[in-house]
Amino acid sequence: MLINNRIIGRIYEQQLLSNLCSEKESRLIAVYGRRRVGKTYLIKYFFKEKFDFFFTGSFETPMKVQLALFKDALSQYSKVERPLPKNWFEAFDQLKEHLKTIKKQRIVVFLDELPWMDTPKSSFIAAFSYFWNTWGSTYDGLKLIVCGSATSWMINKIIGDKGGLYGRTTRPIYIAPFNLYEVEQFLKLRKGIHWNRYQILEAYMIFGGIPYYLDMLDKQVPFDVNINHLFFSTGAPLRNEYGFLFRSLFKSSTIYRQVVEVVAKKNKGLSLKEIKEDLGTGDSGALTEVLDNLCKCDFIRKYSAFGKKEKGSIYQLTDLFSLFHLKFIGNRTGLDEQFWTNIKDNTRNAWTGYAFEQVCMHHIHQIRNKLSINGVLTHVCSWSSPRQTDKDGTEWPGTQIDLLLCRGDHVIDVCEMKYCQSEFVLSREYDEYLRERNNTFAHLSKTKDAIHNILITTYGLKPNTYSERFNATVTMDDLFL
């Protein structure tokens, strides 16, 4: 099968699908990723919607209604009126009988939003497992593609299932949000929007790389007006999206929202202990499961601090759409419909600084490529230390480094991330701060590795007396490569 040029990016994923579909044997392919990331679009356009059966689950819909919809879809594809199945076992048996009548070398079945079919007491997973294990897995040419936005459900119930589907998934395919280059291509080719990269970067800091949100942008109006329309106007389509995301992904959505909002309070993130204390919960096991699921769904990331083991891990909010919502919308009512146009620079600047840091975290590959270290084993981490005094009375200030690239060639890249509207100017005072911070880090961490200063910024570094403090500079354009 050929790569579909209508699909922005996803070259590797399309090649995987092509390879799997060219094989004679049956294949169970699990496609997963954050809601609105374009999973369904990829599958539909890759196969040009030429399915031998397609069905999508319905959100918060009772089993009886889902079975009736399944029956209607099957009747449409088979051109044979089917009786209403009493349960999912009968539904999959009817699907099997339909597929057996198809005389083709390759049969493609697409079941979308699989988690929504798994309603309480429906025995959906048992029926699906029985269908695949007893028949589907042995039926040459069958390509069964299952998809779901509830990433934790897809991983726990399908990909990593320890029951009837253990080891049965031929290939999981993760669909990541777009990177900056793909967002640029999407806006140009799909939307006819020709913004400069500074504007595209700001769009990324609001929407992340989520195609569904980016598709709402209107090329006929300025960027700030787009944001007003989508978030702050009467009936704004994205005003309530944040809440719906959690309801559609997690059955107990309240605790998930609470955890995200607790983690969002501190830019550098919180430890498990700090999250427990803020929530007032004593159940570490349940909280750890919530945190793991949020990581799987790309809301937060789990990272280790330099020199600390697993138990010292930090959880940090990385979903840019959630960050924007919590910063500017939250539970507020009666927002100014021109809010984004009228917002004061200092309020906006506090958000852009942290949002840009998260953009950098999403583009570590591009940063490493610019530094020519993609072939070097690299551990990404952070480091912080409170103010402390040595036994000899030497005082060391409290300090924090948000991004360290600890390389296998015994170099540590200390990354300084700065969102600016022009070239970054390194002043004498800031140069002293960087020097003092490096000395503090080297002493307290006891590292023997060489320390390099890396600047990651929008328009580069303005040459002056102090600019040689940085060993290398990564610009906004480098993040688009």
For residue 2, is pLDDT > 70?
no
53-91 tens-digit pLDDT: 999 999 999 999 999 999 999 999 999 999 999 999 999
The pLDDT assigned to 68 comes to 97
Give CATH for domain 241-328.
Answer: 1.10.10.10
How confident is the model over 146-164, as a mean pLDDT?
A: 85
Q: Is 270 helix (H, G, I), strand (E, B) or coil?
A: strand
DSSP 8-state assignment for residue 24: S
| Calpha distance 100→107 (Å, rounded) | 10
For residue 48, is pLDDT > 60?
yes
The pLDDT assigned to 127 comes to 96
Question: Where along the chain do the CATH 3.40.1350 domains lie?
Answer: 363-479
> Across the chain, what does the average pLDDT equal?
93
- Residue in 99, 100, 98, 168 with CA at minimum distance from that of residue 130: 168
The pLDDT assigned to 348 comes to 85
The pLDDT assigned to 308 comes to 73
Angle between the N-to-C axes of helices 320-328 and 345-362, in degrees from 0 to 180, rounded to the nearest 10: 160
The pLDDT assigned to 1 comes to 54
**CA 120 distance to own-chain centroid:** 28
**CA 122 distance to own-chain centroid:** 30
The pLDDT assigned to 252 comes to 84
| Residue 438 pLDDT class (50, 70, 90 cuts) | very high
How confident is the model over 38-44, as a mean pLDDT?
A: 96
The pLDDT assigned to 347 comes to 77
Instruction: Determine contact, residues 451/412, Cβ cutoff 8 Å.
Output: yes
For residue 101, is pLDDT > 80?
yes
How confident is the model over 416-425, as a mean pLDDT?
A: 97
| Calpha distance 133→299 (Å, rounded) | 34
DSSP line for 412-465: EEEEEEE--SS-B---HHHHHHHHHHHHHHHHHH---SEEEEEEEESS-B--ST
400-417 tens-digit pLDDT: 999 999 999 999 999 999
How confident is the model over 38-67, as a mean pLDDT?
A: 96
| Residue 4 pLDDT class (50, 70, 90 cuts) | low
The pLDDT assigned to 335 comes to 74
pLDDT over 70 percentage in the chain = 98
| Calpha distance 175→37 (Å, rounded) | 7
| Calpha distance 65→43 (Å, rounded) | 25
Question: Where along the chain do the CATH 1.10.10.10 domains lie?
Answer: 241-328
For residue 19, is pLDDT > 90?
yes
User: Residue ranges of the alpha helices (H) in 30-179?
Assistant: 39-46, 63-78, 88-100, 114-117, 124-134, 151-153
301-334 tens-digit pLDDT: 998 888 776 567 899 999 999 999 999 998 777 7
173-204 tens-digit pLDDT: 999 999 999 999 999 999 999 999 999 999 99
For residue 166, is pLDDT > 70?
no
**CA 151 distance to own-chain centroid:** 10
How confident is the model over 137-146, as a mean pLDDT?
A: 96
Own/partner contacts of 464-468, CB < 8 Å, gap of 24 or more, are 464/425, 464/426, 465/428, 466/426, 466/427, 466/428, 466/430, 466/431, 467/426
pLDDT over 90 percentage in the chain = 80
More confident residue, 350 or 62: 62
Question: Where along the chain do the CATH 3.40.50.300 domains lie?
Answer: 11-174
11-174: CATH class: alpha beta
Give CATH for domain 363-479.
Answer: 3.40.1350
